[in-house]
Structure 1
């Protein structure tokens, strides 16, 4: 009998109407300068867990302000992550993780470059210019959270056992790994035992949240997508609409009728492969 290990994502409710000490308030945002270097996806997940996203920048003043403030927080670094990447399009377009409009940029000379391997953006603390970097590099980062946030009622955080609550879908998400990973059907059965299913995904924002989970493990975790007709059509195990299918380039392939969710998109595989899983509980 395999033992399940749950990666706990700690939710820290934001309980303030202004920025707490040690952070910086500008316009409608609190900026949390996180001096614990990590990869881009984990940084974004950490920001989501405290109610925000990696910082987006829409004007030169904000860009300069964050750069100057970073000098007080990141004294052992030369740059830091912001919330811009092209992982969804693999080089064609840039997107902010908070869904904001890409209406401002301040690239260093010759940037962006190597778009197939350097898909996430960092700011130089020397001059405030941007460069695209390998997303797996560990850097400090800045989270942005709306400073008008108020204390939520207890029901606003209804997930137990370390699951992450995501308000837009009113769902709880958790990623599991094992001493012995599970087949797709065993993973689905386990999620059902928690009154959920292997995760479905229905828009870019939800994909980004779940893709951040996927970066924890060595292998892409199972999600709830599968095919009963050789890949002609696809459906989610929770019976929700297959209205958004962000396939990784080159997929779906002839590899199999069950689907895992990698950091860069969906990949289909043999259902008997043993992999981690991501469960989603719809409230």
Structure 2
């Protein structure tokens, strides 16, 4: 998946959404860049028929699921798998800008994406130095 590899070049991964606040913030920003009725890759990856994880290895503890059960099931049905498995074998997640919900999509679709990269902080003086 080119999107994840591109994020890796900048020291990050496709974005992990760990809270409702993060989801609202990202959805709002995404509308500005890709439009109201678009979608973009986020870092969710289904690694087998029942397990989802974030590309950066974090446990998927927050889900903003679409209303269609055929698309994705509820978070309580996921089991976190910490085993190192090959990525991109199953489905990925996209964030819909129209409603902030997620839906599964083919990892090899060509579309916009959002990376989560480490923050760059300006150097600060300590004790006036």
Please indicate, yes or no, whether the TM-score normalized by the shorter chain is above 0.5. Answer: yes
Contact 1:63 1:128 in 2 (8 A): yes
Q: Deviations over 1:170-208 (max 9, x none)?
A: xxxxxxxxxxxxxxxxxxxxxxxxxxxxxxxxxxxxxxx
- Residue 94 in structure 1 maps to residue 52 in structure 2: yes
Q: Which residue of 1 aligns with 2:32?
A: 72
Q: Which runs of 5+ in 2 are unaligned?
A: 74-88, 124-129
- Aligned counterparts of 1:67 and 1:118: Cα–Cα separation in 2: 24
TM-score, normalised via structure 1 length: 0.35
Q: Deviations over 1:215-272 (max 9, x none)?
A: xxxxxxxxxxxxxxxxxxxxxxxxxxxxxxxxxxxxxxxxxxxxxxxxxxxxxxxxxx
TM-score, normalised via structure 2 length: 0.74
Q: Which residue of 1 aligns with 2:111?
A: 139
- Residue 128 in structure 1 maps to residue 100 in structure 2: yes
What is the CA-CA distance between 1:76 and the residue it aligns to? 8.4
Larger radius of gyration: 1
What is the CA-CA distance between 1:75 and the residue it aligns to? 3.1
- Aligned counterparts of 2:11 and 2:121: Cα–Cα separation in 1: 9
Q: Deviations over 1:136-171 (max 9, x none)?
A: 2111000011114689xxxxxxxxxxxxxxxxxxxx
- Aligned counterparts of 1:126 and 1:135: Cα–Cα separation in 2: 21
Structure richer in strand, relative to its length: 1
Q: How many residues matched? A: 106
What is the CA-CA distance between 1:72 and the residue it aligns to? 1.3
What is the CA-CA distance between 1:74 and the residue it aligns to? 1.1
